[in-house]
Amino acid sequence: MRTAQHAQLALLLEVAGTPKPGNVDRERDFDDLRFEHFLAGAVGSCDGLDAAAAGEPVGDSFETAVEGMSQQRGGNAQFGALLLLVPLVRAAATWGLTPDDTVAVVEATTVDDAAGFYRAFEHVDVFVDDPPADAEELDVRRGADAIPAVRERGLTLSDVMELSAPEDGVATEWTNGFPRTFAAAETVSEGDGPVPDRVAAAFLELLAAEPDTMVAKQHGAEVAESVRERAAALRDADRDELETFADELVERGVNPGTTADVAAAATFVALERDGVIP
Protein backbone atom coordinates (compact mmCIF):
# COMPACT_ATOMS: atom_id res chain seq x y z
CA MET A 1 0.00 0.00 0.00
CA ARG A 2 1.21 3.49 -0.78
CA THR A 3 1.84 6.09 1.92
CA ALA A 4 -1.35 8.04 1.25
CA GLN A 5 -3.36 4.82 1.37
CA HIS A 6 -1.87 4.02 4.76
CA ALA A 7 -3.07 7.42 5.96
CA GLN A 8 -6.54 6.78 4.60
CA LEU A 9 -6.65 3.33 6.21
CA ALA A 10 -5.46 4.85 9.49
CA LEU A 11 -8.50 7.15 9.47
CA LEU A 12 -10.76 4.15 8.91
CA LEU A 13 -9.12 1.96 11.54
CA GLU A 14 -9.32 4.80 14.04
CA VAL A 15 -13.07 5.18 13.71
CA ALA A 16 -13.52 1.38 13.72
CA GLY A 17 -11.64 0.98 17.01
CA THR A 18 -14.01 0.48 19.92
CA PRO A 19 -14.60 1.43 22.68
CA LYS A 20 -13.09 4.89 22.27
CA PRO A 21 -14.96 6.72 25.01
CA GLY A 22 -16.64 9.89 23.84
CA ASN A 23 -15.95 9.34 20.17
CA VAL A 24 -17.75 7.90 17.21
CA ASP A 25 -16.57 4.31 16.92
CA ARG A 26 -17.80 1.06 15.45
CA GLU A 27 -20.55 0.92 18.06
CA ARG A 28 -21.41 4.57 18.68
CA ASP A 29 -22.69 7.62 16.81
CA PHE A 30 -23.46 11.15 17.79
CA ASP A 31 -26.84 12.41 16.58
CA ASP A 32 -25.37 14.53 13.80
CA LEU A 33 -21.94 12.99 13.34
CA ARG A 34 -22.14 9.36 12.47
CA PHE A 35 -19.87 6.48 11.53
CA GLU A 36 -20.59 6.84 7.81
CA HIS A 37 -19.44 10.47 7.87
CA PHE A 38 -16.00 9.24 8.88
CA LEU A 39 -16.04 6.64 6.10
CA ALA A 40 -16.89 9.31 3.54
CA GLY A 41 -14.38 11.69 5.12
CA ALA A 42 -11.59 9.15 4.75
CA VAL A 43 -12.45 8.49 1.11
CA GLY A 44 -12.77 12.20 0.35
CA SER A 45 -9.45 13.11 1.89
CA CYS A 46 -7.42 10.88 -0.44
CA ASP A 47 -6.57 13.55 -3.04
CA GLY A 48 -5.05 15.78 -0.36
CA LEU A 49 -3.13 12.90 1.15
CA ASP A 50 -1.89 11.91 -2.31
CA ALA A 51 -0.81 15.51 -2.86
CA ALA A 52 1.16 15.52 0.39
CA ALA A 53 2.88 12.28 -0.58
CA ALA A 54 3.68 13.67 -4.03
CA GLY A 55 5.44 16.69 -2.58
CA GLU A 56 2.75 19.34 -3.08
CA PRO A 57 2.93 22.13 -0.48
CA VAL A 58 1.77 21.10 2.99
CA GLY A 59 -0.81 23.89 3.25
CA ASP A 60 -2.37 23.19 -0.15
CA SER A 61 -2.39 19.46 0.52
CA PHE A 62 -4.10 20.01 3.84
CA GLU A 63 -6.72 22.28 2.33
CA THR A 64 -7.42 19.74 -0.42
CA ALA A 65 -7.71 16.97 2.15
CA VAL A 66 -10.12 18.99 4.30
CA GLU A 67 -12.20 20.02 1.29
CA GLY A 68 -12.53 16.38 0.26
CA MET A 69 -13.17 15.20 3.83
CA SER A 70 -16.03 17.70 4.09
CA GLN A 71 -18.04 16.14 1.25
CA GLN A 72 -20.47 14.47 3.64
CA ARG A 73 -23.31 15.70 5.81
CA GLY A 74 -21.73 15.24 9.24
CA GLY A 75 -19.47 18.29 9.20
CA ASN A 76 -16.04 18.12 10.78
CA ALA A 77 -15.09 14.47 11.03
CA GLN A 78 -11.31 14.48 10.63
CA PHE A 79 -9.88 18.03 10.50
CA GLY A 80 -7.44 17.48 13.37
CA ALA A 81 -6.45 14.02 12.22
CA LEU A 82 -5.62 15.37 8.75
CA LEU A 83 -3.62 18.21 10.28
CA LEU A 84 -1.45 15.56 11.94
CA LEU A 85 -1.38 13.21 8.97
CA VAL A 86 -0.35 15.65 6.26
CA PRO A 87 3.13 16.44 7.67
CA LEU A 88 3.62 12.80 8.67
CA VAL A 89 2.76 11.68 5.12
CA ARG A 90 5.13 14.31 3.75
CA ALA A 91 7.91 13.14 6.06
CA ALA A 92 7.32 9.48 5.16
CA ALA A 93 7.28 10.21 1.42
CA THR A 94 10.37 12.40 1.40
CA TRP A 95 12.86 11.71 4.18
CA GLY A 96 11.54 9.23 6.67
CA LEU A 97 8.90 8.74 9.33
CA THR A 98 10.91 9.82 12.36
CA PRO A 99 10.41 12.63 14.89
CA ASP A 100 13.42 14.46 13.42
CA ASP A 101 12.06 14.26 9.90
CA THR A 102 8.67 15.58 10.99
CA VAL A 103 10.45 18.48 12.67
CA ALA A 104 12.17 19.16 9.37
CA VAL A 105 8.82 19.16 7.56
CA VAL A 106 7.33 21.53 10.13
CA GLU A 107 10.33 23.87 10.00
CA ALA A 108 10.14 23.97 6.21
CA THR A 109 6.57 25.25 6.19
CA THR A 110 5.99 28.69 4.67
CA VAL A 111 3.57 31.60 4.82
CA ASP A 112 1.79 30.05 1.84
CA ASP A 113 1.30 26.89 3.87
CA ALA A 114 -0.25 29.00 6.61
CA ALA A 115 -2.58 30.51 4.00
CA GLY A 116 -3.64 27.01 2.94
CA PHE A 117 -4.35 26.15 6.55
CA TYR A 118 -6.60 29.21 6.90
CA ARG A 119 -8.39 28.41 3.63
CA ALA A 120 -9.17 24.94 4.98
CA PHE A 121 -11.49 26.56 7.53
CA GLU A 122 -13.67 27.75 4.63
CA HIS A 123 -14.72 24.16 3.96
CA VAL A 124 -15.98 23.06 7.36
CA ASP A 125 -16.94 24.38 10.80
CA VAL A 126 -14.25 23.54 13.34
CA PHE A 127 -14.72 24.11 17.04
CA VAL A 128 -11.99 26.48 18.24
CA ASP A 129 -11.39 28.80 21.16
CA ASP A 130 -11.57 32.55 20.91
CA PRO A 131 -8.15 33.91 20.01
CA PRO A 132 -6.17 36.09 22.44
CA ALA A 133 -7.21 39.78 22.33
CA ASP A 134 -4.04 40.74 20.44
CA ALA A 135 -4.59 38.06 17.80
CA GLU A 136 -8.17 38.59 16.72
CA GLU A 137 -7.19 39.25 13.14
CA LEU A 138 -5.57 35.80 13.12
CA ASP A 139 -8.75 34.04 14.28
CA VAL A 140 -8.96 30.86 12.21
CA ARG A 141 -12.73 31.28 12.05
CA ARG A 142 -12.11 34.19 9.70
CA GLY A 143 -10.85 31.63 7.18
CA ALA A 144 -9.28 33.17 4.09
CA ASP A 145 -10.09 36.67 5.40
CA ALA A 146 -7.29 36.26 7.92
CA ILE A 147 -4.66 35.58 5.26
CA PRO A 148 -3.63 39.24 4.73
CA ALA A 149 -2.83 39.50 8.45
CA VAL A 150 -0.92 36.22 8.29
CA ARG A 151 1.10 37.51 5.35
CA GLU A 152 1.68 40.89 6.96
CA ARG A 153 3.14 39.22 10.04
CA GLY A 154 5.09 36.74 7.91
CA LEU A 155 3.74 33.76 9.81
CA THR A 156 4.59 30.29 8.55
CA LEU A 157 2.32 27.36 9.30
CA SER A 158 4.83 26.33 11.94
CA ASP A 159 4.46 29.78 13.53
CA VAL A 160 0.67 29.49 13.48
CA MET A 161 0.86 26.12 15.23
CA GLU A 162 3.13 27.60 17.90
CA LEU A 163 0.53 30.27 18.57
CA SER A 164 -2.11 27.56 19.11
CA ALA A 165 -0.01 25.30 21.34
CA PRO A 166 -0.30 24.26 24.16
CA GLU A 167 -4.05 24.85 24.28
CA ASP A 168 -4.45 22.68 21.20
CA GLY A 169 -3.18 19.13 21.36
CA VAL A 170 -2.72 18.84 17.60
CA ALA A 171 -0.66 22.04 17.46
CA THR A 172 1.44 20.77 20.36
CA GLU A 173 2.32 17.68 18.37
CA TRP A 174 3.38 19.91 15.47
CA THR A 175 5.72 22.01 17.56
CA ASN A 176 7.28 19.12 19.34
CA GLY A 177 8.23 16.30 16.95
CA PHE A 178 4.92 14.45 17.34
CA PRO A 179 5.93 12.74 20.62
CA ARG A 180 2.53 11.37 21.59
CA THR A 181 1.92 10.14 18.05
CA PHE A 182 5.16 8.16 17.92
CA ALA A 183 4.72 6.81 21.45
CA ALA A 184 1.16 5.65 20.78
CA ALA A 185 2.30 4.00 17.53
CA GLU A 186 4.21 1.51 19.69
CA THR A 187 0.97 0.41 21.31
CA VAL A 188 -0.63 -0.19 17.92
CA SER A 189 2.42 -1.94 16.48
CA GLU A 190 3.31 -4.11 19.45
CA GLY A 191 -0.18 -5.08 20.56
CA ASP A 192 -1.90 -8.40 20.04
CA GLY A 193 -5.19 -9.07 18.42
CA PRO A 194 -7.18 -7.21 15.79
CA VAL A 195 -5.69 -3.86 14.77
CA PRO A 196 -8.81 -1.81 15.67
CA ASP A 197 -8.61 -3.19 19.24
CA ARG A 198 -5.00 -2.01 19.44
CA VAL A 199 -6.03 1.42 18.16
CA ALA A 200 -8.66 1.60 20.90
CA ALA A 201 -6.01 0.60 23.45
CA ALA A 202 -3.70 3.35 22.20
CA PHE A 203 -6.55 5.85 22.44
CA LEU A 204 -7.23 4.89 26.05
CA GLU A 205 -3.58 5.23 27.00
CA LEU A 206 -3.45 8.68 25.42
CA LEU A 207 -6.68 9.70 27.13
CA ALA A 208 -5.38 8.54 30.52
CA ALA A 209 -2.08 10.40 30.09
CA GLU A 210 -3.16 13.94 29.21
CA PRO A 211 -6.39 15.95 29.33
CA ASP A 212 -8.00 16.18 25.90
CA THR A 213 -7.72 19.75 24.61
CA MET A 214 -10.96 19.52 22.62
CA VAL A 215 -12.82 18.60 25.81
CA ALA A 216 -11.05 21.45 27.60
CA LYS A 217 -12.15 23.92 24.91
CA GLN A 218 -15.74 22.72 24.90
CA HIS A 219 -16.32 21.91 28.57
CA GLY A 220 -13.47 23.44 30.51
CA ALA A 221 -10.21 22.21 32.00
CA GLU A 222 -11.86 20.55 35.00
CA VAL A 223 -14.02 18.30 32.85
CA ALA A 224 -11.03 17.44 30.69
CA GLU A 225 -9.00 16.49 33.74
CA SER A 226 -11.86 14.45 35.20
CA VAL A 227 -12.12 12.50 31.94
CA ARG A 228 -8.38 11.87 32.04
CA GLU A 229 -8.59 10.65 35.65
CA ARG A 230 -11.49 8.38 34.85
CA ALA A 231 -9.62 6.92 31.87
CA ALA A 232 -6.56 6.37 34.06
CA ALA A 233 -8.64 4.65 36.72
CA LEU A 234 -10.07 2.34 34.05
CA ARG A 235 -6.67 1.20 32.79
CA ASP A 236 -7.23 -2.37 33.99
CA ALA A 237 -11.00 -2.30 33.81
CA ASP A 238 -12.98 -4.94 32.00
CA ARG A 239 -14.70 -4.27 28.73
CA ASP A 240 -18.11 -3.64 30.33
CA GLU A 241 -16.79 -0.79 32.45
CA LEU A 242 -15.15 0.78 29.44
CA GLU A 243 -18.36 0.47 27.43
CA THR A 244 -20.28 2.19 30.22
CA PHE A 245 -17.76 5.02 30.30
CA ALA A 246 -17.95 5.31 26.49
CA ASP A 247 -21.74 5.45 26.50
CA GLU A 248 -21.74 8.02 29.28
CA LEU A 249 -19.37 10.41 27.50
CA VAL A 250 -21.34 10.17 24.26
CA GLU A 251 -24.56 10.88 26.17
CA ARG A 252 -22.99 13.91 27.83
CA GLY A 253 -21.59 15.12 24.51
CA VAL A 254 -18.06 15.00 25.91
CA ASN A 255 -15.89 14.28 22.86
CA PRO A 256 -12.14 13.77 23.30
CA GLY A 257 -11.63 14.41 19.63
CA THR A 258 -8.00 15.50 19.85
CA THR A 259 -7.07 12.22 21.47
CA ALA A 260 -8.77 10.42 18.57
CA ASP A 261 -6.78 12.56 16.13
CA VAL A 262 -3.53 11.48 17.75
CA ALA A 263 -4.69 7.85 17.74
CA ALA A 264 -5.32 8.10 13.98
CA ALA A 265 -1.86 9.58 13.42
CA ALA A 266 -0.29 6.86 15.56
CA THR A 267 -2.09 4.23 13.51
CA PHE A 268 -0.61 5.73 10.35
CA VAL A 269 2.88 5.40 11.83
CA ALA A 270 2.17 1.78 12.75
CA LEU A 271 1.02 0.96 9.22
CA GLU A 272 3.61 2.96 7.31
CA ARG A 273 6.76 2.64 9.41
CA ASP A 274 6.20 -0.65 11.22
CA GLY A 275 4.42 -2.58 8.49
CA VAL A 276 1.33 -3.41 10.53
CA ILE A 277 -1.23 -5.10 8.27
CA PRO A 278 -4.83 -5.64 9.42
Binding site for a second copy (CB under 8 A): 1, 5, 8-9, 12-13, 16, 26-27, 34-37, 39-40, 42-44, 46, 68, 71-74, 194-196, 277-278
The span from the CA of 134 to the CA of 152, in Å, is 15
Q: Which is nearer to a second copy, 42 or 171 (by Cβ)? A: 42
CB of 260 to a second copy, least distance (A): 16
Which residues, at least 6 apart from 192, have a Cβ–Cβ distance to it below 8 Å? 198
Least Å distance, CB 50 to a second copy, is: 10
Measured from the CB of residue 7, what is the shortest distance to a second copy in angstroms?
10
- Which residue number, 147 or 242, has a Cβ lying nearer to a second copy? 242
Nearer Cβ to a second copy, position 161 or 188? 188
35-44 and 58-69 helices, crossing angle to 10°: 140
What is the helix (H) or strand (E) element at residue 241, kind and residue range?
helix 239-252
Calculated CA dihedral for residues 27, 31, 36, 40, nearest 10 degrees: -140
Cβ 106 to a second copy, closest distance in Å?
Answer: 27
Going by C-alpha positions, the residue among 230, 224, 222 that lies closest to residue 256 is 224
Q: Are 81 and 44 in contact (CB under 8 A)?
A: no
Minimum CB–partner distance for residue 46 and a second copy (Å):
7
Choice between 5 and 110, CB closer to a second copy: 5
Nearer to a second copy, 9 or 53 (CB): 9
Q: Cα dihedral sign for 142, 130, 256, 248?
A: negative
Rounded Cα–Cα distance for residues 175 and 192 (Å): 31
Output the smallest distance, CB 16 to a second copy, in A. Answer: 6
Burial of 190 (0-12, 13-18, 19+ CB in 10 A): exposed
Q: Give whichever of 16 and 150 is closer to a second copy, judged by the CB atom.
A: 16
